Chain A
């Protein structure tokens, strides 16, 4: 797998990948496997084909890539510490993503399942709030719309 080079030698497996090619979830899951990990959670977010009754043919993602990478790296490190993970990997896809294909995948491994489940969910919530990546939906009627959810806080949290 094309993992990002670890910043330090003892960085746990996984890492951050932002790519324009399909996500290989099996490889991601294998990357976080460890004999010390009894719980390995793989979350896969896929491009939804129907939203509020409207058909979506495909999604297209764009990002502020340097800031997205840095934010994902920070979130991953927070998750490793907060949930005592043995490994964590996050892959996000950019560009067009057909309905049904994976747009994001998170793998979290911990000695016990509870922490691995919690970490994957926490990371997804943070990604959806703070990582500068946007999707546009290509509707079945040919229309295309950017998604900017009405949030209570601006991206970036406290900044």
Chain B
């Protein structure tokens, strides 16, 4: 590799996790290498990186910012992404 070539930024997607998912993951945010994609792509990466989350992940919604999004929604680095497992408020 040529010394003058810039080192590419390793883009990281940060996803907030809550409640039982945070307990299982042992953290409140998880980070994934990300070069673009959809919520469905993020699901695959989360499942691969945190197999223990699979059961809740399959029953979780995704949110970007303060809105729920479907599996075909695009996610870019810097988005405020969260996984929303089945809720139990009230």
Contact = CB atoms under 8 A, between A and B. Distances in A.
A105 to B, nearest CB: 10
Q: Tell me whether chain A's interface is mostly helix, strand or loop, or mixed.
A: mixed
B13 interface: no
B84 A132 contact: yes
A134 B89 contact: yes
Interface stretch (A30-38, A107-115, A141-149): A141-149
B37 interface: no
User: Which residue, B69, B70, B84, has most C-beta atoms of chain A within 10 A?
Assistant: B84
A146 B67 contact: no
A154 B89 contact: no
Given A62-B18, A64-B63, A148-B20, A133 B88 contact: yes
Interface string B41-71: 0000000000000001001110101111110
Contact of A103 (B59, B60, B90): B90
Given A154-B61, A159-B61, A127 B89 contact: yes
A-side interface size class: 35 or more
A134 B87 contact: yes
Contacts of B19: 62, 134, 136, 146, 148
B12 to A, nearest CB: 20
Given A66-B66, A67-B67, A148 B59 contact: yes
A127 B18 CA distance: 17
A149 B19 CA distance: 12
15 contacts: A62-B19, A64-B84, A66-B66, A67-B68, A68-B89, A70-B66, A70-B67, A132-B63, A135-B89, A146-B88, A147-B88, A148-B59, A148-B85, A157-B68, A159-B68
Interface of B: 16, 18-20, 23, 56, 59-61, 63, 65-70, 82, 84-90
